[in-house]
């Protein structure tokens, strides 16, 4: 009975917390959760995993160059925030190891840097005709024929797709995120709450509800940041292909027990974008845009003023 009352009270608190972010400081969002202390930056690919290929560059090198500049830019903007890198050299780690590094670092935010790619467009045109020989019949009846057949030439041109996209995990993958959160609960739970949760059976609906709501909160925070990153890209004249949800290929976003986004910084398959994401100026512009968005995110976190984003609206 006592347990039941405690559970109901606890449920009331989490519902209160999620129905209004402004009343959130109640208990659950302890001060610890409303500050940005550690940001984890993940440079996509690396080592034998080259990522997408441009006409002269590989994604793994571009993502590392941008990630290192982002580290410096964020550190300058937020001297008190710890910046952790999943890699600083040309090495390969599988996404599981990368997610583990982020979780072990007790990250409050996970920023994943990638480049996009679109397949070249294939073209063909008829160049003329050639004579083709063929036979009919067998033995003495075998007869030689000729016919005219068209000839073609084939070539491809770069896909014109260009610009930026920022991803969050798809809302229908929240289950995976919840698992990551359960496995790394020490990351975001204050000790009082951990004690309360500790009284619950991990399989109990109350516990499940907690993780579900916490995941939705992280989803909201990630969506706010993703939308803002794209907004900052628009301000510097990039073509924004918008903030999106993705269910595949972004396992690392689901496996990290923290708000997380994946930024596709440009199309390496597009000649103009490839030049831009390889240039020192372009890379710095990208980092400045992301840093501005992180600044807004930090402000929203500290003042509990995130906008509510509908999972269906993206």
Of 110-118, 227-235, 236-244, 295-303: span binding Zn ion (CB under 5 A)? 110-118
Q: How far is the CB of 64 from Zn ion (least distance, A)?
A: 12
95 binds Zn ion (CB under 5 A): no
Q: How far is the CB of 44 from Zn ion (least distance, A)?
A: 4
As to burial, measured by CB atoms within 10 angstroms (0-12 exposed, 13-18 middle, 19+ buried), residue 81 is middle
46 binds Zn ion (CB under 5 A): no
Residue number with CB closer to Zn ion (44 or 163): 44
114 binds Zn ion (CB under 5 A): yes
Instruction: Determine which residue in the list 46, 51, 163, 259 makes contact with Zn ion, applying CB under 5 A.
Output: 51
Of 106-114, 167-175, 176-184, 298-306: span binding Zn ion (CB under 5 A)? 106-114
Of 15-23, 48-56, 213-221, 267-275: span binding Zn ion (CB under 5 A)? 48-56
**Token pair 């969050």 is at which residue?**
168
Of 39-47, 83-91, 136-144, 187-195: span binding Zn ion (CB under 5 A)? 39-47
158 binds Zn ion (CB under 5 A): no
Residue number with CB closer to Zn ion (37 or 246): 246
Angstrom distance (rounded) from CA 249 to CA 251: 6
Residue nearest to Zn ion (CB): 114
**Token pair 């016919």 is at which residue?**
147
Residue number with CB closer to Zn ion (46 or 51): 51
Residue number with CB closer to Zn ion (44 or 158): 44
Contact 1, 197 (CB under 8 A): no
Q: How far is the CB of 116 from Zn ion (least distance, A)?
A: 8
The alpha helices in 105-246, defined as continuous H runs, are 174-183, 191-199, 205-235
Window 218-247: contact mask with Zn ion (x via CB under 5 A): ------------------------------
Of 36-44, 99-107, 194-202, 293-301: span binding Zn ion (CB under 5 A)? 36-44
44 binds Zn ion (CB under 5 A): yes
Angstrom distance (rounded) from CA 12 to CA 93: 42
Number of helices (H), then strands (E), in the chain: 9, 8
Angstrom distance (rounded) from CA 18 to CA 214: 9
98 binds Zn ion (CB under 5 A): no
**Token pair 């059976």 is at which residue?**
201
Angstrom distance (rounded) from CA 53 to CA 269: 7
The alpha helices in 24-167, defined as continuous H runs, are 59-77, 95-104
Residue number with CB closer to Zn ion (34 or 159): 159
Q: How far is the CB of 125 from Zn ion (least distance, A)?
A: 34
* Exposure string over 82-97, b if 16+ CB within 10 A, otherwise e: ebbbbbeeeeebebee
Selection from 27, 67, 87 nearest residue 290 by Cα: 67
Query: Which strand (E) or helix (H) includes residue 286?
Result: helix 280-303
- Residues of this chain that interact with Zn ion (CB under 5 A) are 44, 51, 114
């Amino acid at each position: 009975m006592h347990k039941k009352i405690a559970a109901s009270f606890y449920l009331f608190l989490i519902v209160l917390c999620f129905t209004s972010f402004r009343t959130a400081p109640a208990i659950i969002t302890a001060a610890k959760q409303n500050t940005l202390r550690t940001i984890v930056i993940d440079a996509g690919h690396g080592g034998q995993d080259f990522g997408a290929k441009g006409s002269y560059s590989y994604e793994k090198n571009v993502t590392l160059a941008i990630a290192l500049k982002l580290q410096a830019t964020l550190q300058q903007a937020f001297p008190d925030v710890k910046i952790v890198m999943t890699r600083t050299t040309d090495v390969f780690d599988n996404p599981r190891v990368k997610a583990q590094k982020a979780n072990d670092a007790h990250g409050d935010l996970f920023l994943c840097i990638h480049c996009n790619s679109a397949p070249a467009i294939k073209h063909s045109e008829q160049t003329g005709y050639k004579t083709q020989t063929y036979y009919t019949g067998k033995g003495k009846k075998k007869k030689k024929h000729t016919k005219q057949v068209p000839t073609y030439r084939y070539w491809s041109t770069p896909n014109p797709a260009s610009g930026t996209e920022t991803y969050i995990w798809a809302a229908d993958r929240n289950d995976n995120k919840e698992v990551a959160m359960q496995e790394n609960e020490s990351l975001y739970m204050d000790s009082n709450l951990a004690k309360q949760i500790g009284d619950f059976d991990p399989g109990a609906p109350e516990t499940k509800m907690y993780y579900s709501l916490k995941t939705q909160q992280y989803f909201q925070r990630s969506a706010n940041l993703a939308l803002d990153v794209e907004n900052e890209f628009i301000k510097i004249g990039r073509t924004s292909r918008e903030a999106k949800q993705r269910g595949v290929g972004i396992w690392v976003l689901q496996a990290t027990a923290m708000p997380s986004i994946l930024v596709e910084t440009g199309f390496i398959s597009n000649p103009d974008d490839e030049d831009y994401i390889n240039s020192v100026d372009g890379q710095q512009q990208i980092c400045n845009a992301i840093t501005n968005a992180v600044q807004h995110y930090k402000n929203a976190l500290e003042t509990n003023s995130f906008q509510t984003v509908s999972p269906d609206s993206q």
